[in-house]
Structure 1
Amino acid sequence: MADILTITLNPTVDLSTQVPEIIAGPKLRCETPVADPGGGGINVARAIKFLGGQSTAFIATGGETGARLLRLLAAEHVRFTAFSVTGDTRQSIAVTDGSTGEQYRFVMPGPVWNAAMVGDALHAIEAAVSEDGLVVLSGSQPPGVPLDFPARLHRALARKNCRLFVDTSGAPLHALTKSAVGPFVLRMDDVEAEDLADRPLLKRADTADFASDLVARGVAQNVIIARGSDGSTLVNKDGRWHCSRAVDPARVVSAVGAGDSFVGAFCMAVARGESLVHALSMGTAAASAAVTTAGTQLCNAEDVMAMLPDCDLSEI
Structure 2
Amino acid sequence: MRGEWQFAPMMAQTSVLTVTLNPALDLSAQIPEMVAGPKLRLSDPVYEPGGGGVNVARAMHALGGQATAWVALGGSAGAQHLDLLRAQGVPVRCFDITGETRQSWAITDSHGQQFRLQLPGADWTQPDTTRAMEDVVAHADGLVVLSGSQPPGVDAGFAQRLARMLGRGRLVADISGAPLSHLLNSPDAAAQPYVLRLDQGEAEAQAGHALGQVAQALEFAQSLVARGVAQYACIALGADGSVLAGQGLALHCRPPQVQVVSKVGAGDSFTGAFTLELARVPDAMEQALHAGTAAATAAVMTPGTALCRAADMQAILPECSIHNLRA
Question: Which band: TM-score by shorter chain?
Answer: over 0.9
What SS does the corresponding residue of 1:210 show, helix, strand or coil?
helix
1:54 aligned residue: 66
Q: Is the 8 A contact 2:164 2:192 kept in 1?
A: no
Alignment of 1:1-316 (within 5 A): 1-98=13-110, 100-130=111-141, 133-158=142-167, 163-180=170-187, 181-248=191-258, 251-273=259-281, 275-316=284-325
Instruction: Give the AA of the match of 2:78.
Output: G
Instruction: Give the AA of the match of 2:225.
Output: V
Counterpart-to-counterpart distance in 2, 1:166 and 1:308: 24
Instruction: Give the AA of the match of 2:300.
Output: V
Flag structure 1 segments of 5+ consecutive residues without an equivalent.
Answer: none
What SS does the corresponding residue of 2:70 show, helix, strand or coil?
strand
Deviation at 1:247, TM superposition (A): 2.6
Flag structure 2 segments of 5+ consecutive residues without an equivalent.
Answer: 1-12
Q: Which moved more, 1:25-34 or 1:283-292?
A: 25-34
Per-residue displacement from partner, 1:236-273 (whole Å, max 9, x unpaired)?
0022111011133xx21000000000000000000001
Instruction: Give the AA of the match of 1:107.
Output: Q
Counterpart-to-counterpart distance in 2, 1:194 and 1:27: 38
Q: Is the 8 A contact 2:25 2:103 kept in 1?
A: yes
> What is the aligned-residue RMSD (CA, Å)?
0.9
Deviation at 1:122, TM superposition (A): 0.8
Q: Is the 8 A contact 1:57 1:80 kept in 2?
A: yes
What SS does the corresponding residue of 1:135 show, helix, strand or coil?
strand
Deviation at 1:162, TM superposition (A): 5.7
Q: Is the 8 A contact 2:169 2:193 kept in 1?
A: no
Q: Is the 8 A contact 2:124 2:153 kept in 1?
A: yes
Counterpart-to-counterpart distance in 2, 1:70 and 1:23: 33
Counterpart-to-counterpart distance in 1, 2:136 and 2:212: 39
Deviation at 1:315, TM superposition (A): 2.1
Instruction: Give the AA of the match of 2:115.
Output: Y
Q: Is the 8 A contact 1:135 1:162 kept in 2?
A: no
What SS does the corresponding residue of 1:267 show, helix, strand or coil?
helix
Instruction: Give the AA of the match of 1:194.
Output: E
TM-score, length basis structure 1: 0.96
Counterpart-to-counterpart distance in 2, 1:69 and 1:54: 19
Instruction: Give the AA of the match of 1:117.
Output: D
Counterpart-to-counterpart distance in 2, 1:80 and 1:123: 17
Q: Which moved more, 1:175-184 or 1:137-146?
A: 175-184
Counterpart-to-counterpart distance in 1, 2:132 and 2:16: 17
Displaced runs of 4 or more, over 2 A: none
What SS does the corresponding residue of 2:43 show, helix, strand or coil?
coil
Counterpart-to-counterpart distance in 1, 2:76 and 2:194: 36
What SS does the corresponding residue of 1:14 show, helix, strand or coil?
strand
Q: Which moved more, 1:10-19 or 1:149-158?
A: 149-158
What SS does the corresponding residue of 1:26 show, helix, strand or coil?
coil
Aligned residues with identical type, % of pairs = 51
TM-score, length basis structure 2: 0.93
Instruction: Give the AA of the match of 1:284.
Output: T
